[in-house]
Amino acid sequence: MSDLPKESSRTILFQFVIFPLGIVLAAVGVFLLFGKLATERHTIPDYLNTIRSGSSHERWQAAYQLSKSLKRGEAAQYPDLEPQVAAIYLQSKDDDPRIRRYLSMVLGTLGDRRATPVLQAALGDKEVENRIYVLMALGELRDPAAVPAVARAARDRESDVRKTAYYTLGEIHDESAVPALVEGLADEVPDVRWNAALALSRFDDARAVPVLREMLDRTRLSRAAGIREDQSEDVMIMAMAPYARLGGAEARAGLQRIAASDPSLRVRAEAKTALTSSR
C-alpha cells in the first residue's frame, strides 16, 4: 500500500486505529512521479479526458490529481461531475486498480449520494485496498442507505477492511449501524474492535465502555502486535473522552489515576482534559 500520498486532513484521525497503516503512509517523492500532471496546470475536464483515454500510468495519476483538485474546492464550476466520474469508474473495473482507488476518492469528495449504489457494488472488489478506498468514500458521503452494505463489509475476512468499515459506520452515524458496531466489539483483532467501540460511542451507547477501558490499559496495549509506544498513547487519548462520557464514576476514577501517575506527560494532560470536559 505505498502509492497513496499522506493526507493532512483530520478525516484520518490516527493511522493505527482508524485506517490500516499503509493507507496513510506517504509515498516518498510521490509528486516527482507525476511529471507534467503534477507541474502543469490542468482543468477538471483535462483530468477526466486523461482518465478516459490516457495510458494506464497517466490515468491513475490523473485520477489522483483530480481528487486533489476537488479537495481544493475546484468542482464548483462543474456542477454535474458525478455521472461522468461514475461512468468512468464503472468502465475501469479491469484496469489498473489505482485508477479505481482514486476515483473512489473523487466520488467521496464530490459528496453526491447518487454515487452510493456504484460504491456499494464495488465493495465486492477482489482488491483489498480498493475495498478500503470504497469504504472511505462511503464515509465521506454519509448516506444511511449504505449502512447494510458497509455492515456486511465489517465481516470481511481482511481485518483492515473490517477496521475501515467500522470507522465508516461511525461517520455515517445512522442508528441502523448500531447492531453491527456492537458485533464488532467482539472482534479478535484489537484495533478492529477499538474502531467499533469508538464508532459506537458516538451513539452514546454504554456497550462500548469495556473496550474503551481496554484502550486505556497500558499492559494490554503493550501486548498488541505491531503497536509502538507513541501509538499506545494515541489509542489511550482517543478513548478518554468517550470513556469519561459513558463510563460513569468508574471512568472518572480510572482517568484520575491516569492523570496522576501515567508516565507520559501528554497522556496525563489529556486525561485531565477529558475529566474536565465530562463534568
Cβ-based neighbours of 75, under 8 Å, separated by 6 or more: 44, 69, 81, 109, 110
CATH code for the structural domain at 1-187 = 1.25.10.10
Task: Taking residues 196-221, report their average pLDDT.
Answer: 96
How does pLDDT run across 27-78, given as a tens digit for each residue?
Answer: 323 333 444 445 456 889 999 999 999 998 899 999 999 998 898 888 778 8
Residue 14 has pLDDT above 50, yes or no: no
Residues 203-206: contacts with CB under 8 Å, at least 24 apart: 203/173, 203/175, 203/178, 204/245, 204/246, 205/178, 205/181, 205/246, 206/246, 206/247
What was the pLDDT predicted at 49? 95
* Average pLDDT value over all residues in the chain: 86
In angstroms, rounded to a whole number, what is the distance separating the alpha carbons of residues 192 and 170? 13
In angstroms, rounded to a whole number, what is the distance separating the alpha carbons of residues 235 and 217? 10
How does pLDDT run across 105-131, given as a tens digit for each residue?
Answer: 999 999 999 999 999 999 999 999 999
Parse the chain into domains and list their residue ranges: 1-187, 204-279
What was the pLDDT predicted at 17? 52
In angstroms, rounded to a whole number, what is the distance separating the alpha carbons of residues 258 and 272? 9
Residue 41: C-alpha distances to residues 31, 35, 47, 62, 228 (Å): 14, 12, 10, 12, 41
**Residue entry with cell 455521472:** 83
What was the pLDDT predicted at 92? 92
How does pLDDT run across 18-38, given as a tens digit for each residue?
Answer: 545 444 433 323 333 444 445
Residue 4 has pLDDT above 90, yes or no: no
Determine the 3-state secondary structure of 141 from DSSP.
helix
In angstroms, rounded to a whole number, what is the distance separating the alpha carbons of residues 140 and 158? 22
What was the pLDDT predicted at 143? 98
